[in-house]
Chain A
Amino acid sequence: MSDQEQFTLTVNGTKANVSRPAGMRLSEVLREELHLTGTKIGCNAGDCGACTVLVDGEPVCSCLMTLAKADGCHIETVESLANGSKLSLLQQAFSRHGAAQCGICTPGMLMAAAPLIRANKAPSRAEVEDALGGVLCRCTGYAKIIDAVMDAAMEKPAMPMPVRHGAVGARVERLDGIPKLNGDEVFGADYWPENALYLRVLRSPYHSAQFTIGDVAAWVAKHDLISHVFLASDIDGENQFGVIPPMADQPALAVDAARFKGEAVAIIVGQSQDVAAMDISDFPIEWTELPAIMDVDVALADGTTLIHAHRENNILISGIVKHGDIDKGFGAADHIAEMSFSTSYVEHAYIEPEAGVAWMDGDTVVIQACTQAPIMDRDDTAKVLGLPVEKIRIIPSATGGGFGAKLDVSVQPLLGLVALKTGQPCRIVYSRNESMMSTTKRHPGVMQARIAADKKGHITAMEFQGDFNTGAYASWGPTVASRVPIHASGPYKTPNYLAKARAIHTNGPPSGAFRGFGVPQSTIIQEALYDELAEKCGIDRLAFRRLNALKNNDITICNQTLPAVGIDDCLAALEPFWQKHQQQIADFNAKNSRKKRGIGVSSCWYGCGNTALPNPSTIRLGITADGQVVLHQGAADIGQGSNTVIPQICADALGLPLAHISIIGGDTAITPDCGKTSASRQTFITGKAAMLAGQALRRQILRLSNLGDDAIIEMAEGSIHVSHGDKQHEIALSEMAANPYGYVLMAEETYNPPTEELDAFGQGKPYALYGFGAHAAVVEVDMHLGTVKVLHISAAHDLGKVVNPLLAEGQIDGGIAQGLGMALMEEYIPGRTENLHDYLIPSIGDMPEIEYHLIEVPDPEGPMGVKGLGEHVLIPTAPAILNAITNATGGARLYQTPAVPHRVLAAIQANNNVNEAAE
C-alpha cells in the first residue's frame, strides 16, 4: 500500500491537490511540494515561529501541523500578502521602519501580525507583543518590528530615495528589502535543482570518542533510499579546515576520533528528502566513549590528555599586551578593586540553520549556501577537496543571520565533496539541533582582573588574566586571545597595563567568532570594577568614566595615538538619561520594597578590521553600454545592511542618485573579494573601497567630458550626460567597446586599512581605527524572585559618520537584544540545551525601550569619516545591565553570567547577609 493519499488544501486562495504522506509537516508540504519557500523552517519544534502561517485565519506553526490535519483548510502564507509587486500596508510599514534585517523571521512575523491587523487597526504595544510573542528574531531586537505593526494601518509614503550627493546620512529603506518581505528571498534552504541528492550527516553522540566504521557498502546496498556514504577516507585534499590557515585543525569528517559532540563523521546521501525521515540507527559504526574534558581548569591540569597532541597543556595560543609598569601603577594607587568573573557558552541562534546546495558546472564545483565569508569558504573548501580555488565557485545565498558563526565553513565542504564525487546536484539543511551542536559558540571566559585608581579617580593601572574555552578546534580562538588583551582596558586612559588571554582546548563545541570576539566578556569585569572604584573614590559612576575616557591624541594601551576618539561624546550624551532616571529610581525605590530599580553604565571601544593583519576589500564598479551602473558589492549582507550602505557611499562618491546604482552580490566568479562580514569592517573597509571606486569612475567620466570636478553626471539610455554650469558633454556609451567584464567604463579599487605589526608586548597599531559607544540601562529587580526586567536603555554610539540612521538604529536594537540575552538568560550547555526551548534568547516581550544617540566624530581614515558599528552595539549592554542590577539591589553582585533568577536571588541573599553582618 502507498503511504500517500490525496489531500486538498486551499493555499492563498488556490486549490492544491497534494499527494504526500499524511504525517508530513505542513511546512514541508508548502516548501517542497508547492514551492512556497517564503515559509521558513527555523526549529521544527514550535520554538521560533518562523514557519507561522494562517490556517482558517488563525496563526499556527506549520512545522507542527500534519498534512492530514490541513486537509480541506484554507492556508495563507507570506506569499499572499503582497498584490503583485505592490506590498501590503503591513509589508510597507516593515520596510519603512527597517523591521526586516536578515529577513528569515520576517514571514513568520508578518503572518503573526496579519490577523492582529485585520482585527485591530490601532494595536497597542502590548497587543503587538502578545500577537508576535511566538516568533523569535535574532537581528532586530524587535523594536522596529513593533513600531511597524503599530504603524501599518494607513498608507504612508516610503522613505524618499535620496538625491544626488544626499545618500550618505539618509534614512534609506533597505535596497534589498522587498524579497525579504514578500517571500521571494532565497536563503540557503530555498533553492534546489529537481532531483538533487539530499545529505544527512552522521555526528558524534559523545563529547569525546573513538570510532570504527564497518561495512558501509553493505549498509548502502540494504537501503534503497541511500545512494552513497562518504567518509574521511573519501577526501582527496587536506582534511582539515580553519579560518586561520596556520591553525587549521578541524576535519571536514572525523577520521577515527571525535573531539566534540556533534562532530561530523559521515555523510549519508539520500536519493530524496525522504532520507531525512529514515532511521539510520543501524549504520555500521562502533563507538568507544572516552572521558571528556569540558572545563579549562581540567584542560590545563598537569597530565590531562591532550586534545591536539602538538598543543601543550591544551593551550591553543596566548595573547598579551603590556604597557607601562603595573607594579608602579598599583604602588601609586589609593584604591584597588579586583574581581573574578566567568561567562558561559553563548549560541548565535540565528533563525536560519545552515543550509545550501551544490552542483557541478563543467569541472567547477558550485556551492550556494548561507555565509559571511564567500572567499574564505571557497579557499577552505578547495583545500579539503584538493582542487585549485578557481574550481570552486561560491554563490552566497541570502543569509538568515550569522553574528560570527557563519564565518567558518559548515555545509560547504560536505556539499562540495558530494557534488564532486557524484557529479549530481545535492543539498543539505541542518536541523536546529545539529546547527547548535556543530557550529561555533561564544567563548566561555574565566577572568580575573584588578584595577587601581588614585584618590582623584584617575586610573593608575590594570591587570587582566582570562582563560577562554575554545572548544575542540581552533576556529577563531587566536583572534579572541589577541583581541581581548587589546580591548580589556576599555576606552580609558590606562597608563600601566598588563593583560593576558589564553585560548584553551576542551571537548566542548568549537568556540569561534561571536560579535565582539571575547571583548563583550572582558568588558563585563572591567566595567564592574569601574563601578567599585567609582564608589571607593566617591565619584558618580558616569563622571568616573568621563574622567578616565580617552581623548583625542591620547595614547592607548597598545601605544597607539588615536585622532578621533568619540567616547566622551557618547558618555556625555547619556548624561540627561542618567540624571533623569537616577531621580525617578530614587522615587520608585522609596515607595517599593519588593521591586527595586537601578541604573548602570558601560562604555565600549572596538577596533575595526583584522588585528594587525591585512584585510583588503576590492570594489568593482562598471557602466554598461546601455547605461547601467553596476556595483559589485561583495560584502556578505547577513542582515546588517551592506547591500544598502555600500551603494549609499558609492553613489555619493560617484555623484549619482542612489536609485541609479544596481548591485551584484558576492558570487566569487563575478565579484572581487570584499573579505568577511566580521570585525565591524564592512562599512569602513568595503565602504572605503566603494568610495574610492566611485571617485575613480567619476574621474574617468570627468576626464572624458573634460569638465570640472563639481560637474553633474546624469545617466541616460546608452549615454552619460555631464554638465558644469552651462557647459555640457555627452558620452555615447553605446559606441564604446566593452571590457572583458562587459563594461564600457569601469573602476576597481582596493582598500586595505593601514595597521602595524604588534611587538611581543602588543605595542603597535593593531587597527586603523576604532569605534566607540556607551550604554546606560535601567532595570527593575524583583527582590523576592530574582527576576530582572530591563526597562530602558540609552545607547550612544560614535559612528564617525552615520551612513544610514535607520539601519544604524536597527543594529543598536539587535546588539542590545543579544547583550541582554547574554546578561540575563543565554547559557549553552553542551549536550543539554541544543534547541530553542532549553536555550533561551530574548523574546519580543523582553526588550527595553531604547533611545539612540548617533554621534559623529569623523575618523580621517574612514570613508567620509565612517567607523564600524556592528559589534560595538553588543559590548556595553551586558555590563550596563549587570551594573544596574548591583545598583538596584543595594550591592548584590553577580560573578557569573547569565544572571538567571536563581543566581540573582542568591546574590541578593548573600549581599543581605554581608550587610547584616556589618550592622
Chain B
Amino acid sequence: MMSVMSSNTTYIRPLTIEDAVDVLSTSAAAVIAAGCTDLFPLTSAPRMTGQVLDVTGIKDMRGITDNGDMRRFGGATTWTDIIRADLPPAYDMLKLAAREIGSIQIQNAGTIAGNLCNASPAADSIPCLLALDASVELTSASGLRQLPLSDFIVGPRKTLRQADEIMTAVLVPKSSETGVSSFRKLGTRKYLIISIVMAAARIEVKDNRITHAALSLGSCSPVAVRLDKVEADLIGMDIHNATIPASHYVEETDIEATINPIDDVRGTASYRITAAKTLLCEAIDNCLNQVRSGG
C-alpha cells in the first residue's frame, strides 16, 4: 500500500479491499477517489487535498465476473470496460448510456461505483441499473452488505453509504439479464452533455407477448425511478397489435404520478413530463423493434 501524507493531505492507494476498508475504519473523513471525474471538477486546485483513498489500485475492484446467479461489476470498472465487455442484450441500454457519459476521455476514467455514489439526479447509468434490478455491495472493516440500488440512493447526491464503506461492486441478478433493452438520453447538445431527461427500457417478449418490462426515468426527478404502473400495463400486450407504438399506451399522467419533476434551467417541470413520455415510448418501441426484427 502506498501512503503519503503531510499535515493536511493524505493520499492512500491500497492494493487490496482489506487495506482500503482498514483505512476508512480509522479515518472516516477520507474521500474515496476512483475515476476522479466528479471529484476533480469540485476544485480548481492543481491537486487533491485532504484525505484521499484511491481505490483504483485494487485489482478485485475492476472487471466483470460471473458469480453464478449474479454478474458482478467491480466498483472501479470503467465505462470503457463495460462498453467493450461481451454482455447479453439486456445490457445494451447500459452500454448506450456508458457511451453518452461525458466523452471517451471520461468513459476511460469514470467508474460504475463512482457514478452511483455521486448520486447525481442526472447520473447516466442509474436508470439502466434500476431496470436491471441491480444491487450494490458495500464493504467495511466490519463486513459486507448488499442493498438494492433502488434503496441505496435516497436523494440528490444522498446515499445510504456509510463513511466507512466502499462500494466494492454492483451486482445484477442473472434472472434480470433477460430480454432486450434500450436507452434514450435528451440533451441540448450532442456530446459532453448533462441530460434533461433519460429513459431506459428492458423488455421480455414470449410468443409475441410482453412478459416482463423494466422501465426507468432519470434526470426528471431528484432520484431516478422505476415506472411500476406502466410496466404492469405492458404485460400481456401483443407486440404485433395495432395499438403499437408505445405512445398509445403510455400516459403522461402515469409518469406525472410517479415522478416529482425537476424544474430548472435545463427544462421546466411540464417539459420534463412531456419529454419523459416521448423518450420512454422511444425506448420501448426500440426494444419491440429489436424483438420484431430479431424474431
The residues of A with any CB-CB pair to B shorter than 8 Å are 1-5, 21-25, 28, 32, 44-47, 49, 52, 55, 58-61, 63-66, 68-69, 112, 129-131, 133-136, 273, 276-277, 279, 431-434, 784-787, 824-825, 827, 829, 832-833, 835, 837-838, 840, 842-846, 900-902, 905-906
A824 nearest in chain B by CB position: B188
Contacts of A786 in B (CB 8 A): 271, 275
CA distance A47 to B103 in the complex (A): 9
User: Are B80 and A58 in touch, CB under 8 angstroms?
Assistant: yes
Interface flags, B18-47, vs A, CB<8A=1, else 0: 000000000000000101110011011111
Closest Cβ of chain A: how far from B254's Cβ, in Å? Answer: 17
- The answer to whether B36 and A1 have CB atoms under 8 Å apart is no
* Cβ contacts A to B, 24 pairs, < 8 Å: A3-B10, A21-B9, A22-B11, A24-B47, A45-B40, A46-B103, A49-B103, A61-B105, A64-B37, A66-B33, A69-B56, A129-B191, A131-B104, A133-B190, A134-B103, A276-B45, A277-B43, A784-B275, A786-B271, A786-B275, A837-B192, A842-B189, A900-B188, A901-B267
Q: Which of A59, A68, A434, A844 meets B105, CB within 8 Å?
A: A59
Residues on B with C-beta less than 8 A from A845 are 189-191
Q: Is B227 among interface residues, defined by CB-CB distance under 8 A? A: no
Contacts A60-B108, A901-B271 given; indicate if A2 touches B4 (C-beta within 8 A). Answer: yes
Cβ contact within 8 Å between A5 and B189: no
Asked if B171 is at the interface of the complex by the 8 Å CB criterion, the answer is no
Q: Nearest chain B CB to A831's CB is how many angstroms away?
A: 12
Question: Do A844 and B191 touch (CB < 8 A)?
Answer: yes
Q: Is the CB of A901 within 8 A of B192?
A: no
B192 and A133 within 8 A (CB): yes
**Are B192's CB and A23's CB within 8 A?**
no
Whether, in the assembled complex, B208 has its beta carbon less than 8 Å from a beta carbon of chain A, the answer is no
B242 within 8 A of A: no
Chain B's interface size range is 35 or more
In the bound assembly, the distance between CA atoms of A785 and B47 in angstroms comes to 41
Q: How long is the Cα–Cα vector from A133 to B102 in the complex, in angstroms?
A: 9
B265 located at the interface, meaning its Cβ lies under 8 Å from any Cβ of chain A in the complex: yes
Tell me if B147 is interfacial: C-beta within 8 Å of chain A.
no
Report the separation of the CA atoms of residues A58 and B83 in the bound assembly, to the nearest whole angstrom.
14
What 9 new A-B contacts, CB under 8 Å, besides A134-B103, A837-B194?
A: A3-B11, A22-B52, A23-B33, A25-B46, A64-B41, A134-B102, A787-B186, A840-B193, A842-B189
Question: CB within 8 Å of A: which residues of B?
Answer: 2, 4-6, 9-11, 13, 33, 35-37, 40-41, 43-49, 52, 54, 56-57, 80, 102-106, 108-109, 186, 188-194, 196, 265-268, 271, 274-275, 278-279
Bound-state CA distance A786–B47 (Å) is 41
What's the count of A-B pairs with C-beta under 8 Å? Answer: 192
B199 to chain A, nearest CB (A): 12
Q: Are A273 and B105 in contact (CB under 8 A)?
A: no
Q: Which residue of A lies closest to B49 (CB)?
A: A277
CA distance A4 to B10 in the complex (A): 10
- Which A residues lie within 8 Å of B103 (CB)? 46, 49, 133-135
Would A23 and B41 be within 8 Å (CB), given that A66-B33, A277-B46, A844-B191 are in contact?
Answer: no
Q: Which residues of B contact A277 (CB under 8 A)?
A: 43, 45-47, 49
List, in ascending order, chain B residues with CB within 8 A of A785's CB: 186, 275, 278-279
Q: Which residues of A contact B267 (CB under 8 A)?
A: 900-902
Is B109 a contact of A64 with CB atoms below 8 Å?
Answer: yes
Are A843 and B271 in touch, CB under 8 angstroms?
no
Which A residues lie within 8 Å of B196 (CB)? 901-902
Contacts of B186 in A (CB 8 A): 785, 787, 901
Distance (whole angstroms) from the CB of A100 to the closest CB of chain B = 20
Closest beta carbon of chain B to A343's beta carbon, Å: 16
Smallest Cβ-Cβ distance to A909: which chain B residue? B274
Q: Which of B35, B46, B56, B106 contacts A276 (CB 8 A)?
A: B46
Chain A residues within 8 Å of B192, by CB: 47, 49, 133-134, 136, 837, 843
The contact of A44 among B40, B57, B189, B271, by CB within 8 Å, is B40
List the B residue with the shortest CB-CB distance to A841.
B189
Interfacial chain A residues near B11, Cβ < 8 Å: 3, 21-23, 66, 68
Partner of A46, one of B44, B45, B46, B105: B105
Contacts of A60 in B (CB 8 A): 105, 108-109
Assess A58 versus B52: contact at CB under 8 Å? Given A3-B11, A45-B41.
no
Distance in angstroms between the alpha carbons of A844 and B265 in the assembled complex: 23
**B35 touching A3, Cβ below 8 Å:** no
> In the complex, A2→B7 CA distance in Å?
9
- Chain A residues in 8 Å Cβ range of B13: 22, 68-69
Is A840's CB under 8 angstroms from B189's CB? yes
Cα separation A825 to B265 with both chains bound (whole Å) = 11
| Residues from chain B with Cβ under 8 Å of A32 in the complex | 46
Contact B188 A23 (CB under 8 A): no
**A832 is contacted by which of B46, B104, B265, B278 (Cβ under 8 Å)?**
B265
Residues of B near A832 (CB, < 8 A) are 265
Do the beta carbons of A65 and B271 come within 8 Å of each other?
no
**Residue among B9, B10, B33, B104 with the highest chain A CB neighbour number at 10 A:** B104
A744-B287 Cα distance, complex, nearest whole Å: 78
Q: Are A44 and B106 in contact (CB under 8 A)?
A: no
Complex Cα distance A355/B254, Å? Answer: 53
B44's closest neighbor in chain A, by CB?
Answer: A431
- Choose among B11, B108, B186, B191 the residue with the greatest number of A CB atoms under 10 Å from its CB: B191
- The distance in angstroms between the C-alpha atoms of A901 and B49, with both chains bound, is 39
CA distance A833 to B109 in the complex (A): 24
- Tell me, rounded to whole Å, the shortest Cβ–Cβ distance linking A899 to chain B: 10
> Which of B43, B47, B194 is within 8 Å of A21, CB to CB?
B47
CB distance from A800 to the nearest CB of B (A): 35
B4 close to A65 (CB less than 8 A): no
Closest chain B residue, CB of each to CB of A27: B46
Contact call B2/A5, Cβ cutoff below 8 A: yes
Check B104 against A112 for contact (C-beta < 8 Å). yes
Q: For B46, give its contact among A131, A273, A835, A844 (CB under 8 Å).
A: A273
Cβ of B4: which chain A residues have Cβ within 8 Å of it?
1-5, 21-22
B191 to chain A, nearest CB (A): 3
Contact B265 A784 (CB under 8 A): no
Which residues of A lie under 8 Å from residue B190 when comparing CB positions? 129, 133, 843-846
B218 to chain A, nearest CB (A): 16
Docked CA distance A433–B245 (Å) = 46
User: Which single member of B40, B44, B52 contacts A433 (CB below 8 Å)?
Assistant: B44
Whole-angstrom distance between the alpha carbons of A24 and B271 in the complex? 42
Min CB distance B4 to A, Å, is: 5
A68 touches B265 (CB 8 A): no
Of chain B, the residue at the smallest CB distance from A594 is B278
A843 touches which one: B2, B5, B33, B189 (CB < 8 A)? B189
Whole-angstrom distance between the Cβ of A76 and the nearest chain B Cβ: 14
Whether the pair B37, A905 counts as a contact (CB closer than 8 A) is no
Q: How far is the CA of A277 from the CA of B9 in the complex (A)?
A: 11
Q: A22 to chain B: which residues have CB within 8 Å?
A: 2, 4, 11, 13, 52, 54
Whole-angstrom distance between the Cβ of A48 and the nearest chain B Cβ: 8
How far, in Å, is B6 (CB) from chain A's closest CB?
A: 3
Q: Please name the 10 residue pairs, one residue from A and one from B, whose CB atoms are nearest each other, closest first.
A: A134-B103, A845-B190, A133-B191, A3-B6, A23-B48, A431-B44, A45-B41, A902-B271, A22-B11, A277-B45
